[in-house]
């Protein structure tokens, strides 16, 4: 493992520093390769494929989206790396089942996953929603990333 880290540091993909006898390693985000590599990892191992896989066969899920900081970073907005994953499910899926999906996703992703459910009629009217519902306002005004292979909404 040390040899691989040494090669990635030499290539400029990782940065390292010493603190006493510890070697701290982190991604080098200012390289031209950072964004494509991040996208590759996100598409193959990140929240999109994990949650698509877990939600694909859940009864009552018409559509599902990532929102919040993860969706914003995925779509190119600058900011700190997301600490959690926010998921919006449109449909009538059982809340206990969605909670089980969130726990399974947390186990696979190693970060908290929060799933919110919205009724199809509410989702259909989201652009006409009043500013009285802060959740709908945030969904309407912030980035959304559709999970593939789920429903048709």
The answer to whether position 151 is within a domain reads: no
Q: How many domains does the chain have?
A: 2
Same domain, 102 and 58: yes
Helix (H, G, I), strand (E, B) or coil at 46: coil
Q: Are residues 107 and 42 in the same domain?
A: yes
| Residue 69 included in any domain | yes
Q: Say if 153 falls within a structural domain.
A: no
Instruction: Identify how many contiguous H helices and E strands the chain contains and give both numbers.
Output: 7, 6
Q: Buried (b) or exposed (e) across 58-93, using 16+ Cβ within 10 A?
A: beebbbbbbbbbbbbbbeeeeeeebeebbbbbbbeb
User: pLDDT tens digits for 41-84?
Assistant: 765 668 999 999 999 999 999 999 999 999 998 888 888 888 89
Distance CA 70, CA 47 (A): 9
52 and 123 co-located in one domain: yes
For 6, the domain range is 1-31
Q: What is the DSSP letter of 126?
A: G
* The pLDDT of residue 141: 83
- Give CA–CA dist 75/71, Å, rounded: 6
Matching residue, tokens 């449909």:
91
pTM to 2 decimals? 0.74
95 in the same domain as 133: yes
* 110 backbone dihedrals φ, ψ, rounded to 5°: 70, 30
Average pLDDT, the chain: 87
Is residue 118 a part of any domain in this protein? yes
In a domain, 152, yes or no: no
pLDDT digits (tens, 9 = 90+) for 12-21: 888 999 999 9
Within a domain: residue 128? yes
20 shares a domain with 77? no
Does 4 reside within a domain?
Answer: yes
């Amino acid at each position: 493992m040390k040899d691989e880290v040494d090669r990635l540091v030499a290539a400029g993909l990782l940065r390292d520093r010493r603190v006493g006898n510890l070697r701290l390693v982190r991604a080098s985000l200012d390289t031209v390769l950072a964004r494509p590599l991040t996208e590759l990892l996100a598409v193959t191992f990140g929240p999109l494929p994990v949650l698509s896989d877990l939600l694909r066969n859940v009864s009552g899920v018409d559509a599902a989206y990532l929102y919040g900081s993860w969706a914003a970073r995925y779509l190119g907005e600058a900011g700190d790396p997301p600490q959690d994953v926010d998921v919006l499910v449109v449909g009538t899926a059982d809340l206990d089942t969605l909670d089980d999906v969130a726990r399974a996703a947390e186990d696979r992703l190693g970060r908290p996953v929060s799933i919110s459910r919205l009724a199809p009629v509410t989702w259909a009217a989201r652009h006409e929603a009043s500013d009285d519902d802060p959740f709908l306002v945030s969904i309407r005004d912030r980035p959304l990333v559709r999970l593939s292979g789920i429903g048709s909404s």
